[in-house]
Structure 1
Amino acid sequence: MTKLYRIYALLFLVTSIGSFFNIVSAQSLEAKIDSLILTDFNERNGPGGVFMVAQQGKVVYHKAFGKANLELDVDLTPDNVFQLGSMTKQFTAIAVLMLEEQGKLKVNDPVFKYIPDYPSREITLHQLLTHTSGIKDFTKMKSLSSISQQEMTPKMMVDFFKNEPADFVAGTKFEYNNSGYVLLGYIIELVSGDTYENFIKKSIFEKIGMTQSYYASDRKVINRRAYGYHKKEYGYVNKTIISFSVPFSSGSLMSTAGDMLKWQNALNKNQLLGIKGTKKAFSKYKLSNGEEFSYGYGWHIREMNGVPVREHGGSIFGFKTMGVYIPDEDIYVIGLSNCDCHSPTQLTRDVAAMTLKMFRMQLKDR
């Protein structure tokens, strides 16, 4: 055996062992994720969900469970389109930062600079982005049912809640708030000269190839749409119909797990924002008393077993969603459910934690 041949043989052996290790690790990860998901999403003939795990921008797990449409007995596929609910806020926040980079607004500006008849002179865009404005959340108003099925303009939505008494002085408290993100959507329209729907479509979806992402509609024909459901004591029913002009920029976008990975990858590569703008989105901020809270612009900034994570969920009639990103290892996990009876929130976190553990064990073993 020549020396050169022995070198080739050794390289082949090392490569084969590495490939075998990767295959075994992937199979083990898949089995463990399956086991976790099937504890909750185990009804084959009911609505279900889609789960995806990616590491370093590439998919390592992507499966669907349950039905996309109960009446037609159609199975969910990994490519189905779901309503995102409050994960919409990520897109609204990034759109605001994009407009700031273009010099069309500043996040420390007061709201009344863009909406002159807004009653508060103190509330800033930053406080809207971080849920520290204190304005009334329209989803908690008893009169919401009177407009829930009406076609509302952004101005009509702002007028609906703008004169309500504040819940607290701006900047003194963090309290999750949908009205703030409706205001931001209206301001996006005012400063961009375009509708929120068109701005998101042209500046984000089309720019990064999110071809199966939309502003939600119950009238448009949307390819591979997953239908939403509620669960009653007597069985499943179709989701409650609302006008998507009501949640607007706080919760009216639709997407797929695959498109949401494109979104995450684009953020990582600064395809939409420069480094400075991206840092603003993923920083923690402080209240007026100096106390830090765990929310950036459109994401919760938290820790999972001591590891930094960015996460956000969503809930809208018939759907629940959750996305978790672990920056240190570039791990992204998303869960999308087409029944608001199945929350993927904790399950997505559990899958992310297990993926992180296995990934680090794999590195250690190498």
Structure 2
Amino acid sequence: MITKKTITILIPILLLGIRIDAQVPTNKYEKKIDSLILTGFESKNEPGGVFMVTQKGKSLYHKAFGKANLELDVNMTPKNVFQIGSMTKQFTAIAILMLEQQGKLNVNDPISKYIADYPNGAKITIHHLLTHTSGIKDFTKMKALSTIAQKEMKPEMMVDFFKNEPVDFAPGEKFEYNNSGYVLLGYIIEIVSGQTYEDFIKKNIFEKVGMLHSYYATDRQLIPKRAYGYHQKEHGFVNKTVISFSVPFSSGSLMSTVDDMLKWQQALNQNTLLNPAETKKVFQKYKLNNGEEFTYGYGWHLKDINGTPDREHGGSIFGFKSMGVYIPSEDIYVIGFSNCDCHSPTEITRNIAKITLQSIKK
């Protein structure tokens, strides 16, 4: 029987529980984050961004800054859809491991098993592509890129564009960030699954996770709540350069919202898409041929914030920049999107993660 005395005792305990669960002192914390973001996103009349912080899935901070569309004078909202650039690589890596889990490929397979005529393909493995250790020429560093930037390229055309370029180093010799490797992974996903990369990601990840506002990027399809991308020139802002999304393809052509990206992070934590053994492969550090360890798993940089391990990745594509940081030990997720490539959320997002970590550990 619950007596009046019991209720009197329980109320402060319950209230204390709420405070412990929230962990971060709201007003002081919010002002700290506001001031940090406003160092880079101070103008209400310029392109802006969206930032979100969660712990254990609960929102600690969720705000929008600036304009989603300058021409129509539309304010940014936390629900706006952004191009996420190289954060796409996370989805490509997980898709590869989903196929491995189904027994359709192995990360140690040579790419010649899937693309028979690829130069030196017998020595380059899927693992090399995932970890940026293949030595293949990064197509974004090729002078000829401008000749195809606005063309509709099939995946095999993209592969043909860079495959005969001289390699930068032997497979496994060093780590060097490489977009070509992730284009090859997208092509392998299509070959193995029998689906287009776009369809595979949509049906096997977006729909399964409930990411209802995430897309393979397009300038033609109507995207509800789309944030428009901008560059900054000496005379002011201009609309982003138009490119064919078939060029960055599986290395950088997805769009999403911060809320959908939280669903993505939770799906990874809950092994919704991968079993624990496959998930472990994603977030472990690997070694080069000489035994030296490097700080990249499959689709994520594996670093630390003041000694606390984190998983992070950014993205940059014409008109947009993105950054996500996840701290596994505290289940903290921080993500920032910008709709001008003149405003980088990278350091701001890492600093927000640092402040959040400090606030929680107090």
Class of the TM-score when normalised by the shorter of the 2 chains:
over 0.9
1:27 is displaced (CA, Å) by: 2.4
Kept in 1, the 8 Å contact 2:24–2:60? The answer is: no
Structure 1 match to 2:159:
158
Structure 1 match to 2:10:
11
1:104 aligns with 2:104: yes
Q: Say which is worse superposed, 144-153 or 11-20, in terms of deviation.
A: 11-20
In 2, distance between residues paired with 1:328 and 1:262?
18
In 2, distance between residues paired with 1:247 and 1:264?
23
In 1, distance between residues paired with 2:93 and 2:334?
20
- Code of the aligned partner of 1:103: G
Q: Secondary structure at the match of 2:329?
A: helix
Structure 2 match to 1:351:
352
1:7 is displaced (CA, Å) by: 2.9
Structure 1 match to 2:183:
182
Kept in 1, the 8 Å contact 2:24–2:356? The answer is: no
* Deviations, residues 219-264 of structure 1 (Å, cap 9, x unaligned): 0000000000000111000000000000000000000000000000
- Code of the aligned partner of 1:118: Y
1:53 aligns with 2:53: yes
1:15 is displaced (CA, Å) by: 2.9
Structure 1 match to 2:84:
84
1:345 is displaced (CA, Å) by: 0.2
Kept in 1, the 8 Å contact 2:24–2:360? The answer is: no
Runs of at least 5 residues in structure 1 that lack an aligned partner in the other structure:
362-366
Kept in 1, the 8 Å contact 2:24–2:359? The answer is: no
In 1, distance between residues paired with 2:76 and 2:320?
14
Q: Say which is worse superposed, 35-44 or 174-183, in terms of deviation.
A: 35-44
1:290 is displaced (CA, Å) by: 0.2
In 1, distance between residues paired with 2:314 and 2:224?
24
In 2, distance between residues paired with 1:245 and 1:58?
36
TM-score (norm 1): 0.96
Structure 2 match to 1:364:
none
In 2, distance between residues paired with 1:19 and 1:107?
45
CA gap 1:19/1:270 in 2 versus in 1, 3 angstroms: closer
1:159 is displaced (CA, Å) by: 0.2
> How is 1:305-316 mapped onto 2 (pairs within 5 angstroms)?
305-316=306-317
- Code of the aligned partner of 2:197: Y
> How is 1:222-301 mapped onto 2 (pairs within 5 angstroms)?
222-301=223-302
Structure 2 match to 1:43:
43
Runs of at least 5 residues in structure 2 that lack an aligned partner in the other structure:
none
CA gap 1:23/1:279 in 2 versus in 1, 3 angstroms: closer
Q: How many percent of aligned residue pairs carry the same amino acid?
A: 70
> How is 1:19-34 mapped onto 2 (pairs within 5 angstroms)?
19=18, 22=22, 25-34=25-34
The total of aligned residue pairs comes to 359
In 1, distance between residues paired with 2:315 and 2:349?
13
Q: Secondary structure at the match of 1:283?
A: coil
In 2, distance between residues paired with 1:98 and 1:179?
21
Q: Secondary structure at the match of 2:221?
A: coil
Kept in 1, the 8 Å contact 2:301–2:312? The answer is: yes
1:162 is displaced (CA, Å) by: 0.2
> How is 1:94-243 mapped onto 2 (pairs within 5 angstroms)?
94-120=94-120, 121-243=122-244
1:18 is displaced (CA, Å) by: 5.0
CA RMSD of the aligned region, Å?
1.3
Q: Secondary structure at the match of 1:53?
A: strand
CA gap 1:232/1:171 in 2 versus in 1, 3 angstroms: same
1:20 is displaced (CA, Å) by: 6.2
CA gap 1:66/1:285 in 2 versus in 1, 3 angstroms: same
Q: Secondary structure at the match of 1:329?
A: coil
